[in-house]
Structure 1
Amino acid sequence: MNYIQVTFSFNTIEEYQQDLLIAELGDIGFNTFEEVDGGFLAFIDLNTFSEDQLKNVLKQFESDFECSYVISEIEAKNWNEEWEKNFEPLIINDQCYVRATFHEAQPAYPYEIVIDPKMAFGTGHHQTTTMMIQYILETDVKDKEILDMGCGTAILAILAAKKGASGLIAIDNDEVCYESSVENAALNGVKNLEAFCGGKEVIPSKEFDIILANINRNILIDQIPVYATALKSGGQIFFSGFYESPDLDMIKATCLPFGIQYVNHKKIGEWVAASFIKD
């Protein structure tokens, strides 16, 4: 399978602006990114690529920064090999150790997660994933039914399983993420995780004690009514993938009519994760 490589170049761009651009590119099918001097490379399946979609994404940022890009077609790479060059193990709150299969185990940590992401998002290194992991570490998930939306590698669901969750549903609209979730669950000995490829339409008709949704503001706002139906009374929901202003207030306002109340939030850099509870 061949890929499209888009080389993005910037005169000046803030880190949070680049993160936001990458998140938007992920929504239209780009699934691997590599930093280079003056910008970054983004990769997408040849059959998925649409330059019109790319232009629409960039149009959203035209008042924020100047950007140029070059499109080229490349042969398939060994994406795991590319990823291994830069991936380092991650320790969160001195409790959770995230590593790849080629790193040594560290049994001293209470929770060790083995992740082979292929081209999928969610190694824990992004601020949003880190904050979601922190919330899970702080939350009693034992014997709870959990929904992980936009699951990426299923790292969040896997941590919840290791903390004693009784049932886990992991959903992502990217086929590679779906496959990665299934494989990573097996790598970690998690047998009670069921993965689905799709969006809100594939959420099973059942109620959950906890919902994890690390996506982006627009998708979260669109899906909150569905989450409200799927979340038990007294259930918790953790959101991430957005900024403090104006995103957090927009999400609070969307949740309020459904009886989903804001509890608190975390912030790393420009990124935010927030905790809510259903009345």
Structure 2
Amino acid sequence: MPWLQIKLDVMPDNAEQYEDLLLAAGCAAVTLQDKEDTPIFEPELGTTPLWRNTVLTGLFSADHDLDATQAFLHTSHKQLFPNTPFPPMKTEIVEDKDWEREWMENYHPMKFGQRLWVCPSWKPVPEPDAINLMLDPGLAFGTGTHPTTALCLEFLDSLSLENQQVIDYGCGSGILGIAALLLGADHVTAVDIDPQALDASVDNLQRNHLPKERLQVYFPEKTPQVQADLVVANILAGPLVQLAPTLSSLCKPGGQLILSGLLADQEEELRAAYGQDFALDPAAEQEGWIRMTGLKR
């Protein structure tokens, strides 16, 4: 069954009122999208910033009376914003799709470095003799398609990880920790604040036929005080700065650090946070995102 949708070009100051109006009119879902592709990175805690020009989309069932809803929006606008012109609006018919299946069909195996492939668990592997990480991310972050994950995977592929102890802090789908195991690491301590991420990591470990004792999952407050040969954290700049003492304490002297989830203009802040404890390498960049690596002093 197709869906109907109304799109409104609104300003940040009145987006919330229009969202309420759409919901009051029987809208099944409301989404907000940037009209000008202006990113907002790491908003301040407790804030929900919007773009200068926001597209507000309301989704309605196929039998909904859009004419009545449009009349309702016009009448309400005159009451709420009497001195403001009615925003640009258009209506559309949306094809009904199985969006999860469509995403699955377009998620393809990807190669990172010289040895490592990340392969959707529902598709055949391109190189059966390669190191193939079978992945179903579920609701957790980490498929290899994002530059931050790709940068980490490429660096892991370049390392000699035989028999090493690894900490994957902010493990998401478990992709980085499991890649380390397949590349020779002995054990991974996987840490995340999201229980769905911990579940996904365990599921993907089993999907790759690895023993459950080789990757153990923890919430941050339960993380054991071990010192690992390699600590990898693909999160965001703000949390990484706050976590600097923690991640440093988890890495043994001479151990390797990998940080990602960073924008190029955040490099200096991270160097200031980690430079005292780590000898940091030049950053690697991909599509405006960077990866920082270094050895524990």
In the superposition, the TM-score normalised over structure 2's length comes to 0.71
Tell me if the contact between 2:137 and 2:200 (Cα under 8 Å) persists in the aligned partners.
yes
Tell me if the contact between 2:35 and 2:55 (Cα under 8 Å) persists in the aligned partners.
no
The amino acid across from 1:265 in the alignment is A
- Alignment of 1:13 onto 2:37: yes
3-state secondary structure, aligned to 1:57: coil
Distance (Å, rounded) in 1 between the aligned partners of 2:165 and 2:147? 25
Match of 2:215 in 1: 193
Post-superposition Cα deviations, 1:65-98, rounded to whole Å, max 9, x if no partner, equal: 5334458899xx9885353143122122342221
Larger Rg: 2
Post-superposition Cα deviations, 1:90-120, rounded to whole Å, max 9, x if no partner, equal: 1223422211221012344521011111111
Residues 81, 140 of structure 1: alpha-carbon distance in 2 compared, 3 angstrom cutoff = same
1:262 to 257, 267, 280: 280
Residues 69, 217 of structure 1: alpha-carbon distance in 2 compared, 3 angstrom cutoff = farther
Residues 79, 204 of structure 1: alpha-carbon distance in 2 compared, 3 angstrom cutoff = farther
Post-superposition Cα deviations, 1:50-72, rounded to whole Å, max 9, x if no partner, equal: xxx5xx1326xx5xx53344588
Tell me if the contact between 1:151 and 1:171 (Cα under 8 Å) persists in the aligned partners.
yes
Tell me if the contact between 2:166 and 2:228 (Cα under 8 Å) persists in the aligned partners.
yes
Post-superposition Cα deviations, 1:116-161, rounded to whole Å, max 9, x if no partner, equal: 1111110101000000001101111111110001111111111110
Match of 1:207 in 2: 227
3-state secondary structure, aligned to 1:88: coil
Match of 2:53 in 1: 66
Post-superposition Cα deviations, 1:225-277, rounded to whole Å, max 9, x if no partner, equal: 101111100111100001111x11100101133x2221122111110011021
Match of 2:24 in 1: none
The amino acid across from 1:13 in the alignment is D
The amino acid across from 2:140 in the alignment is A
The amino acid across from 1:104 in the alignment is P
1:248 to 243, 267, 292: 267
Match of 2:294 in 1: 276
Distance (Å, rounded) in 2 between the aligned partners of 1:265 and 1:239? 10
3-state secondary structure, aligned to 2:177: helix
Match of 1:57 in 2: 48
The amino acid across from 1:179 in the alignment is D
Tell me if the contact between 2:114 and 2:157 (Cα under 8 Å) persists in the aligned partners.
no
Tell me if the contact between 1:94 and 1:109 (Cα under 8 Å) persists in the aligned partners.
no
Distance (Å, rounded) in 2 between the aligned partners of 1:190 and 1:79? 31
In the superposition, the TM-score normalised over structure 1's length comes to 0.75
Structure 1, gaps ≥5 residues long: 29-52
Distance (Å, rounded) in 1 between the aligned partners of 2:172 and 2:184? 21
The amino acid across from 2:217 in the alignment is A
Match of 2:68 in 1: none
Match of 2:150 in 1: 130
Residues 7, 85 of structure 1: alpha-carbon distance in 2 compared, 3 angstrom cutoff = farther
Match of 1:49 in 2: none
Distance (Å, rounded) in 1 between the aligned partners of 2:254 and 2:207? 33
Tell me if the contact between 1:153 and 1:180 (Cα under 8 Å) persists in the aligned partners.
yes
In the alignment of these two chains, the number of paired residues is 233
- Over the residues paired in the alignment, what is the CA RMSD in angstroms? 2.7
Residues 232, 72 of structure 1: alpha-carbon distance in 2 compared, 3 angstrom cutoff = farther
Distance (Å, rounded) in 1 between the aligned partners of 2:60 and 2:248? 43
Match of 1:111 in 2: 131
Distance (Å, rounded) in 1 between the aligned partners of 2:200 and 2:271? 32
User: How far did 1:216 drift?
Assistant: 0.2
Match of 1:33 in 2: none
